[in-house]
């Protein structure tokens, strides 16, 4: 970026936190209603950043107390946000609280933020350790000697081919230029450079899809494009987004989930996107009971068909790329997370000294109970319920996730932000908005869409 803009330097996460927090307050804080729920939501969202900064400091200084503080802070704020999402369906009165900036100003600001965030992805080189992981995945895919299928289990369950892509950290609190090769150093070549370029492209497309999906939901389903644009701008302002813009495993599942919500009137398309999200990172699997409950009155067969067909295509992709049956079975096991909680390798909060991994089991049990409860309550779900409960389930999965649980905020932030800005959506139920046949027409007469 400095080659294009003279003496351009990236804003480090700490400075971004201060500037973006002030800008978010100026844009979305309702000064005429200080005790409104919107203001409380905004405060809770901004409180996620101090935990990220403490965690970044702990990683840099190898300080377990700092990492413990960072994870504890993030989990405490995430618990408040999850409780807020669980109570969202009971908030029937939802006064229209628009942003303090006009629609044109929001579009200009959001477009500018998106360009600068994506430019950081383009100019940032993956770190050597991340390229080494991609190289190990490539060698595993080629079935080279000295590697076994369990070497990548430390990355957690998910689509094995996704691990071919290195992680790209676009913002660093300490040594911000560490990810950029020094002058005279050879750049990664061959297949590693291909993986790095593919990771950049997928990260950019995923972030664009998240923003576009949020705007489309505001335009098509909220009947107010300004609400969708406001939610997208707040997502781009979050310090988390600036730090993890280039992480494909963060952004890709979030993009698929928000696109599935945008396409909820086409159950088979929505099911295909949820199935793709399940295949890539596994954890959206726990959304199936909620989404099946939403489509139960109409569309359940089409939604289920979309999920099954997509997962079958991903399995076939593994079959044709695997060198032998043993490798295929190992990759299939990793894709669907077929491993006991006590046998999984830990990284993040549950690997810190003093955090006994045995306590993951009651947390997991409480999560399963919450997931089952949301599948049956409320009995008739609308789009607002689908948004808030989807965010709650994805938030809940962070507490027991064995690999960096709590940091994958792009999974739940888009539906959470849309829940914060949404109007009353009680008439957006499957029985009212879905066609009865398998191949719905693109547009229905307005009188048939009435509640």
Hey, where are the domains in the chain?
13-449
| Spatial contact of 20 and 237, defined as CB atoms under 8 Å apart | yes
**pLDDT under 70: residue ranges of the chain:** 1-8, 127-155, 171-191, 341-343, 437-451
Strand, coil or helix: 173:
coil
Q: How far apart are CA 367 and CA 362, in angstroms?
A: 8
Phi and psi, residue 347, nearest 5°: -150, 130
Looking at residue 205, what is its pLDDT? 94
Q: How big is the chain by its Cα radius of gyration, in Å?
A: 22
Looking at residue 343, what is its pLDDT? 67
Looking at residue 451, what is its pLDDT? 43
Looking at residue 447, what is its pLDDT? 53
Q: How far apart are CA 247 and CA 207, in angstroms?
A: 10
| Spatial contact of 240 and 254, defined as CB atoms under 8 Å apart | no
Looking at residue 326, what is its pLDDT? 78
| Residue among 360, 366, 394 nearest 283 (CA) | 394
Looking at residue 158, what is its pLDDT? 85
Question: E strand or H helix at 60, and its extent?
Answer: helix 48-61
The CA–CA distances, whole Å, from 327 to 160, 194, 249, 406 equal 11, 23, 22, 31
């Amino acid at each position: 970026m400095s080659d294009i803009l003279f003496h351009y330097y990236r804003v480090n996460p700490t400075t971004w936190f201060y500037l973006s927090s002030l800008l978010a307050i100026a844009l979305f804080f309702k000064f005429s209603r200080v005790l409104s729920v919107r203001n409380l939501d905004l405060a809770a969202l901004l409180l996620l950043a101090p935990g990220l900064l403490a965690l970044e400091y702990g990683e840099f200084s190898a300080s377990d107390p700092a990492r413990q503080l960072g994870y504890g802070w993030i989990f405490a704020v995430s618990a408040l946000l999850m409780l807020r999402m669980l109570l969202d369906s009971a908030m029937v009165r939802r006064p229209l609280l628009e942003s303090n900036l006009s629609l044109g100003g929001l579009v200009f600001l959001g477009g500018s933020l998106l360009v600068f965030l994506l430019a950081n992805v383009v100019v940032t080189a993956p770190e050597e350790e991340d390229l080494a992981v991609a190289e190990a995945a490539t060698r595993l895919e080629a079935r080279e000697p000295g590697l076994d299928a369990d070497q990548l289990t430390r990355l957690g369950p998910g689509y094995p081919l996704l691990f071919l892509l290195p992680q790209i950290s676009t913002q660093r609190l300490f040594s911000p230029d560490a990810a950029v090769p020094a002058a005279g150093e050879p750049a990664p070549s061959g297949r590693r450079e291909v993986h790095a370029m593919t990771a950049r492209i997928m990260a950019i497309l995923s972030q664009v899809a998240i923003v576009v999906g949020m705007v489309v939901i505001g335009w098509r389903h909220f009947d107010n494009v300004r609400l969708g644009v406001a939610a997208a701008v707040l997502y781009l302002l979050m310090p988390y987004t600036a730090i993890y813009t280039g992480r494909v495993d963060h952004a890709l599942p979030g993009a698929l989930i928000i696109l599935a919500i945008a396409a909820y009137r086409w159950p088979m398309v929505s099911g295909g996107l949820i199935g793709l999200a399940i295949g890539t990172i596994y954890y959206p699997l726990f959304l199936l009971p909620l989404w099946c409950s939403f489509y139960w009155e109409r569309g359940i067969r089409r939604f289920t068909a979309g999920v099954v067909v997509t997962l079958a295509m991903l399995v076939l992709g593994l079959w044709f790329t695997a060198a032998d049956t043993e490798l295929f079975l190992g990759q299939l096991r990793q894709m669907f997370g077929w491993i006991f909680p006590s046998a999984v390798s830990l990284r993040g909060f549950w690997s810190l000294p003093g955090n006994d991994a045995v306590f993951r089991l009651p947390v997991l049990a409480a999560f399963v109970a919450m997931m089952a409860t949301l599948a049956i309550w409320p009995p008739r779900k609308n789009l607002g319920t689908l948004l808030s409960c989807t965010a709650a389930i994805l938030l809940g999965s962070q507490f027991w996730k064995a690999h960096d649980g709590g940091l994958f905020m792009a999974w739940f932030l888009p539906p959470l932000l849309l829940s914060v800005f949404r109007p009353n959506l009680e008439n957006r139920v499957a029985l009212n908005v879905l066609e009865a046949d398998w191949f719905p027409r693109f547009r229905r007469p307005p009188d048939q869409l009435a509640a």
